[in-house]
């Protein structure tokens, strides 16, 4: 089991909050007074979405879905599982997918393809806290992201290792 002392700091709490505020400013400018649905990919994105939403000035509705591609491990399982996807009618709506990290891109592509198959959006954008471009295998990119990270197993601020350390106010990494 990984102990908190095994986690090396990567992004401080202050750096996280500064970049999230900058992202919110961009989104406020883009959407102005238009209604936006935030779709939070559970569980890792909850802290990011909550902090981002605090700075959004447009009318916001929040929805939650649960996907899985890691199971209990530290590497991509090769399969995306739709654990829980129940959404309202999103036709002709502005939708912003909120994800903690895009690494291989398989989960992001699965979700975007699923949504595009089921709805016709006014606007659909993908927003990630972290973008791990060095691991990209699927043809997808974040429309918005706060930080680009190297090929490290990141943990904290919603991201976990074996279900632990989501509650850390910063992002660190562990050697795996």
Which residues carry out catalysis?
A: 103
65-70 long-range contacts, CB within 8 A, separation 24+ = 65/39, 65/40, 65/41, 65/111, 66/41, 66/42, 67/41, 67/42, 67/107, 67/110, 67/111, 69/104, 69/106, 69/107
| Nearest-angstrom CA–CA distance, 5 and 8 | 8
List the structure tokens of 99: 């994800």
Q: CA 175 from chain center: how many Å? A: 22
């Amino acid at each position: 089991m990984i102990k908190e002392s095994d986690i090396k700091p990567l992004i401080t709490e202050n750096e996280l909050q500064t970049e999230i505020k900058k992202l919110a400013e961009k989104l406020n400018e883009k959407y102005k007074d238009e209604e936006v649905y935030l779709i939070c990919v559970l569980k890792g994105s909850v802290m990011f979405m909550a902090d981002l939403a605090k700075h959004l000035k447009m009318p916001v509705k929040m929805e939650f879905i649960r996907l899985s591609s890691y199971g209990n491990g530290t590497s991509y399982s090769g399969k995306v599982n739709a654990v829980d996807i129940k959404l309202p009618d999103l036709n002709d709506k502005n939708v912003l997918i909120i994800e903690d990290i895009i690494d291989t891109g398989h989960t992001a592509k699965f979700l975007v393809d699923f949504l595009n198959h089921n709805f016709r959006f006014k606007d659909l954008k993908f927003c990630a806290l972290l973008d791990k471009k060095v691991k990209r295998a699927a043809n997808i990119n974040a429309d918005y992201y706060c930080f680009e990270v190297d090929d490290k197993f990141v943990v904290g601020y919603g991201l976990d290792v074996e279900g632990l350390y989501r509650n850390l106010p910063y992002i660190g990494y562990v050697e795996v």
